A and B are shown apart, each in its own frame.
Chain A
Amino acid sequence: MKAAPGAPESGARQVALVLRIGGGLGAALVLAGLAVSFAGSGGGWLHGSGDDPLGGNAAMRLSDLIGGLRHGRAGAVVLLGTIVLAATPAAGVVAAGCTWLRARRAWLAGVAAVVLLLLVLAGILGAAE
């Protein structure tokens, strides 16, 4: 079934909803992490004393997430937010693929599956670096 001219196409509303939720959640986590960071080292942020929060030493890997959250590191909360943000477009592709699968548009659902497989491959190759 075709959408009326100018109306959102099949799957568009679902993808838009997923992007809104993921974007909002990711941004909220980032904001919370920034607030916690500031609360924890407000003096250092104001006067420039202590470690540079924007320097290379503050960089984190994906594998640092769990340990960072366990130890209550504010940077880990921000990292979680950025991971949610990074995963949001992939969730959008999942939503589009599911909608197309239900609509029996096998070719399009297949293309969405290929995109998701490539994203998984990106993670594997990145970890192997």
Chain B
Amino acid sequence: MSPLAEIVAITAVCVLSGCLGSLLGLGGGTFVVPILTLAFGLDLRLAIGASVISVVAGSAAASPRYLDEGFANLRVAVTLEVATVSGAIAGALLAGHLSTRALYTVFGVVLAVSAVQMLRHRQDRDGLAVPDDPIADALSLHGTGTRAGTGTAVRDIRPYRVTRTATGLTMMTAAGAISGLLGIGSGAMKVPAMDLAMRLPIKVSTATSNLMIGVTGAASAVVYLQRGDVVPLLAGAVALGTVVGARIGSRLLAVVPAEALRAIFLVVLLIVSAQMLLRGLA
């Protein structure tokens, strides 16, 4: 394949991955690294370097809409970014010292865990008591959001209370470390931390995760850029595709049947996970 055809193909595939990443709150990187390494045979470290840039670009493209529509909780995002950025710095620095096989193995395991997370049926826990949380009270993290619903654009707005911020911060540190290590958004870890632990509504969790992914990715991107692990043309092509895909995904969030999408994503994730593990362990 000529370089031009390769760049066009990479950009096109990243449109799809960016769209899926935005819809599922995962960031496009979850798919970008496996695609670049398994399908295009690129070096894993360079793929991760490109993915980190695409993660930031995808977040910057999708988040404005979520902010305008009141889906994303900016106060929660910035508070949790303290943890994700700390973790991302540690992960990105560690990535420079791990072997390629170790990175493939960790990637395969993380994708498998993400698939298991997808299997869990998520639902808003309306009516359940929410424990008081002094951190959430002090930082006024509570907000209003839309009730989870699929295939409908009708907004059912209701207030929610945020809880267990300390637990969320702990989980976010781990999510940030994985993000920095593998160049992915780690939305599969961020969304459950907000949805299950902190009791944010599902769509608020997804939108807030998308917003946070950009800042986490920026911390990793700085380390990768300083280390010389970024090929500008590759990162540029991947970022452009992801930006276009993320914009499409953010427009589809209110109308796409999330359960059907999750089922398709689950199958793809399991296949890719097995292939990455094979590369790491073979």
Query: A residues within 8 Å of B by Cβ?
Result: 3, 5-9, 11-13, 15-17, 19-20, 22-23, 26-27, 30-31, 33-34, 37-38, 42, 44-48, 52-56, 58-63, 75-76, 78-79, 81-83, 85-90, 92-93, 96-97, 105, 107-108, 111-112, 114-115, 118-119, 121-123, 125-127, 129
Contacts and interface: CB of A to CB of B under 8 A. Distances in A.
The binding surface of chain B is classed by DSSP as helix
Interface residues of B, number: 75
Contact of A126 (B59, B139, B227): B227
A102 to B, nearest CB: 15
A78 B93 contact: no
User: Chain A binding site: helix, strand, loop or mixed by DSSP?
Assistant: helix
A56 B46 CA distance: 7
A82 B233 contact: no
A97 B79 CA distance: 11
Interface in B220-239: 220-237, 239
Contacts of B215: 89-90, 92-93, 115, 119
Contacts of B68: 8, 12-13, 16
Nearest to B228: A61
A88 B59 CA distance: 10
A79 B230 contact: yes
B60 A23 contact: yes
A6 to B, nearest CB: 4
A118 B85 contact: yes
B6 interface: yes
Contacts, number: 240
Interface in B198-225: 214-215, 217-225
B93 to A, nearest CB: 6
B59 A119 contact: no
Contacts of B70: 3, 6-9, 12
Contact of B231 (A23, A54, A115, A125): A54
Give 7 nearest A-B pairs by CB, closest first.
A126-B226, A23-B60, A126-B223, A89-B214, A78-B232, A16-B64, A30-B236
B78 A96 contact: yes
Given A23-B61, A86-B222, A122-B85, A53 B233 contact: yes
A109 to B, nearest CB: 10
